Amino acid sequence: MSTNSKPPRHFALIPAAGVGARMAAGTPKQYLPLLGKPMLRHTLEAFLGSELIAHTYVVVSPDDGYIDNVAGVAGVTVLRCGGPTRMDSILNGLREMRADIADEDLVLVHDAARPGLTPRLIRALIEGVGDHPAGGLLALPVVDTVKKIGNGVVNTVPRDGLWLAQTPQMFSYSLLLRALSSAPDANAITDDASAIEALGMSPKLIEGHPRNMKVTLPSDIRIAEMYLADKE
Ligand SMILES: Nc1ccn([C@@H]2O[C@H](COP(=O)(O)OP(=O)(O)OP(=O)(O)O)[C@@H](O)[C@H]2O)c(=O)n1
Ligand SMILES: C[C@](O)(CO)[C@H](O)COP(=O)(O)O
């Protein structure tokens, strides 16, 4: 809840300081071309195309040699404070944003590696979460049968109520900073919502879309391009 008469603003924070080890492309995957345009550029354009987003911050590694050819546009600030893990990069970015953002403003953390995001999905998250104090995230319900692996199948995991987390994951600036700063082992958590849950809070799940997939493996490239060619 805003502490003043103005409604909270919405900011995007894009962690883009990974190396893309699973992609094994030689170039950090966020800079690989999709339909002739760097992956990160597609991601940035989703936020630049949303009138709900006040400003976008992108976190890159201090020695990133690619970003200047991708992000030099109004509405985007590059933060060269990437860390050894995704969580470190996000926490470093939040600390760099401190001077520009109010505690009650909302931060949408979104993977650079999810280029299929659209302004419609951004609006769905913002409107779906509303002023829920624990924030929320885009996600998709599991539609396949889930197996736990050991030496072969250990058991079938009941899939009712199982969802696959996507991003953006949206929380108030103060809550997200507190949650990540106090996470017992920030590097053991793989998404921001986990840190909020560790505080005993329950973020909302808002249905996303398969096009908002995370580009992780080489086989993901063509699928991502198919979705990008299919403008919503
Ligand atoms: N130290 C890190 C690690 C990851 N990321 C970002 O977090 C997002 C999701 O991470 P992931 O898909 O795992 O990317 P990578 O870590 O680059 O991939 P890999 O695990 O295969 O190396 C990506 O946009 C990535 O750039 C980051 O900002 N800082
Ligand atoms: C944050 C995330 O995209 C939610 O599914 C996912 O946890 C990122 O995992 P990664 O191993 O850092 O790609």
Quote the number of domains for the chain: 1
| Ligand 2 centroid to residue 2 C-alpha, Å | 29
**Which of 19, 78, 86 is the pocket-test mutation for ligand 1 (most atoms within 8 Å of CB)?**
86
As a dihedral over the C-alpha atoms of residue 38, residue 135, residue 195, residue 139, rounded to 10 degrees, the angle is: -50
Q: How far apart are CA 202 and CA 55, in angstroms?
A: 26
In a domain, 2, yes or no: no
* pLDDT at residue number 74: 83
In a domain, 78, yes or no: yes
Which of 123, 109, 125 lies closest to 206 in space, CA to CA? 125
CB of 191 shorter than 6 A to ligand 2: yes
**Six-digit token pair at 116?**
């299929």
CB of 86 shorter than 6 A to ligand 2: yes
Which helix (H) or strand (E) segment holds residue 163: the answer is strand 163-172
ipTM of the predicted structure?
0.98
**Six-digit token pair at 34?**
């999709």
| Ligand 2 centroid to residue 191 C-alpha, Å | 6
> Model pTM greater than 0.90?
yes
In a domain, 57, yes or no: yes
CB of 111 shorter than 6 A to ligand 1: yes
Q: Which residues of the chain have pLDDT under 50?
A: 1-2
- Write the pLDDT tens digit of every residue in 16-37: 999 999 999 989 999 999 999 9
| Ligand 1 centroid to residue 87 C-alpha, Å | 10
In a domain, 221, yes or no: yes
In a domain, 5, yes or no: no
CB of 203 shorter than 6 A to ligand 1: no
* pLDDT at residue number 186: 62
Q: How far apart are CA 111 and CA 41, in angstroms?
A: 12
Share of the chain above pLDDT 70, in %: 97
* pLDDT at residue number 187: 65
In a domain, 130, yes or no: yes
| Ligand 2 centroid to residue 4 C-alpha, Å | 34
Q: Which domain holds residue 72?
A: 10-229
CATH number at residue 187: 3.90.550.10
In a domain, 28, yes or no: yes
Ligand index nearest the alpha carbon of residue 139: 2
> Tokens 């409604």 appear where?
7
In a domain, 4, yes or no: no
